[in-house]
Amino acid sequence: MEEPFPKDFRFPTIKTYSGTSDPRAHLNRYRAAMLMTGASDAIMCRGFFSTLDGQAQDWFGSLPEGSISTFTALTKQFMSYFASNVQKRKEFADLYHVKQRPTDSLPEFLNKWKREVLGVANIDDRAALIIFRNNLRSGPFYRDLIRYPPKTYNELMDRATRFAEAEVAEKRKKEEEEGRSRKNKAPQEERRAPRDCAVPRGVHEDIPKVDPNKYSHRKRELGQLTEEEEVELDNPAPRKKQAIHVIFGGPEGGDTPAERKKWARNLYVGEVVRPPHEKKPRREPIVFTEADLPDGPLSHRDALVIKVEISDVIVHRVLVDTGSSVNVMYYDTFTQLGLSRKQLGQVRTPLSGFTGDSIETEGSINLEVEIGTPPHVKRWEVEFVVSRSIALIT
């Protein structure tokens, strides 16, 4: 207590120790802080009490008077009393388990290695060089260590830090380039036609086309075609088109299971077949006569369901309702046709459902529609109102 303080001495602020954590860490912090003040051994002993709290203060107060003559003696007593709280340091051999996993980047592995090394006692730099290289995954950095082995552990860490920073910068640069590539590609994809049929004529005229029947034509020249092959070559099968099935699910035909089963048994789906007739004007309307009706009692509540071709796509299960004032296309069908929202026009009049609620629409679009089977085919332009609602619309 008689030891004078150094000139301009200020006792450092240190986190107090209550006796529940590692005493070794507290001693290291205390020594480091007091070393900067130039305090003597006696001042080190005198100031140590102010860094204690709770159980540790009780221990200090229980020391017999005159039992401490140096700070080294105080340190031994302190470490001995709180020895149970000393954290066991890892062995050098534990570093063999610190490996770079397939999912670890170089920065992640380097941070994990440094954390483990801090807890290892008596680390050997030369052995650490070998373990670090063996635990490293193959790649540019591993090849660099093989070609130019570092001489010291510090040189290894410096080189590893530079490679890790380069890897982070390269990853960031790649993400920026991919982002610009996607940004530049998006407008081109929007301008691209959704189907081959929408490409203007003449665009692909200069591209040579491969004749799928070239082999058959060659056999015809040599007189090797059979009668069936001759017929097939003269009447090639039409190109198979994409199909979209529209109507599905829902309590059609009634509110009870019995009514819906009865409706399903009476449902008739078929194609209209008419005998050949003389050529008529181009605007010949498609009509259905009594001959087209299915067998069964009249009047009936059967739904008229047909298939039509829209934008070169066969759309199945199209419900024909002569009482509707608009032609409704659900948004799912619209997207399957490969159409874009930019092609939609504005619809100013809202639609009304069976419940009386107004149904918002996405817009309207005019599409070319084809109905019938060759040679009985009719083409015309139809305006469709696109809606997301799955409720029936009046």
Can you give the pLDDT at residue 337?
Answer: 84
Can you give the pLDDT at residue 203?
Answer: 44
Q: Are residues 316 and 337 in the same domain?
A: yes
d(CA 1, CA 282): 120
Q: Which domain holds residue 299?
A: 243-273+285-387
Query: Using the 8-state DSSP alphabet, how is residue 17 labeled?
Result: B
Say if residues 55 and 19 touch (Cβ distance below 8 Å): yes
Say if residues 370 and 378 touch (Cβ distance below 8 Å): yes
The answer to whether residue 230 is domain-embedded is yes
The CATH number for 301's domain is 2.40.70
Q: Are residues 296 and 352 in the same domain?
A: yes
Q: Are residues 379 and 247 in the same domain?
A: yes
d(CA 201, CA 314): 22
Average the pLDDT over 134-138 and give the result: 88
The answer to whether residue 326 is domain-embedded is yes
The answer to whether residue 14 is domain-embedded is no
Q: Encode pLDDT of 12-63 as tens digits.
A: 888 888 888 888 889 888 888 888 787 888 888 888 888 888 888 898 989 9
Q: Encode pLDDT of 268-303 as tens digits.
A: 555 545 555 566 556 666 777 777 776 666 666 666
Q: Are residues 107 and 75 in the same domain?
A: no
Q: Are residues 130 and 96 in the same domain?
A: yes
Say if residues 234 and 226 touch (Cβ distance below 8 Å): no
Q: Are residues 216 and 352 in the same domain?
A: no
pTM over 0.75: no
The CATH number for 123's domain is 1.10.1200
Average the pLDDT over 235-251 and give the result: 61
Query: Using the 8-state DSSP alphabet, how is residue 241 labeled?
Result: -
Q: Are residues 227 and 252 in the same domain?
A: no
The answer to whether residue 10 is domain-embedded is no
The answer to whether residue 150 is domain-embedded is yes
Q: Are residues 332 and 352 in the same domain?
A: yes
Q: Based on the structure, what is the number of domains in the chain?
A: 4
Q: Are residues 307 and 361 in the same domain?
A: yes
Q: Are residues 146 and 228 in the same domain?
A: no
Q: Are residues 368 and 267 in the same domain?
A: yes
The answer to whether residue 185 is domain-embedded is no
Q: Among 85, 115, 134, give the residue marking a domain's end.
A: 85
Q: Indicate the burial class of 248 (C-beta count within 10 angstroms; 0-12, 13-18, 19 or more).
A: exposed
Residue 17's nearest CA partner among 69, 78, 80 is: 78
Q: Encode pLDDT of 306-336 as tens digits.
A: 787 777 788 877 777 655 567 888 888 888 8
Residue identified by tokens 């910068």 is 169
Q: How many CA atoms lie within 13 Å of 199's alpha carbon, on the beta-carbon side?
A: 7
d(CA 156, CA 137): 15
Average the pLDDT over 111-117 and give the result: 84
Q: Are residues 318 and 353 in the same domain?
A: yes
Q: Encode pLDDT of 175-212 as tens digits.
A: 888 887 777 766 655 555 455 444 444 444 455 555 65
The answer to whether residue 11 is domain-embedded is no
Q: Among 70, 85, 100, give the residue marking a domain's end.
A: 85
Amino acid at 128: A
The answer to whether residue 393 is domain-embedded is no
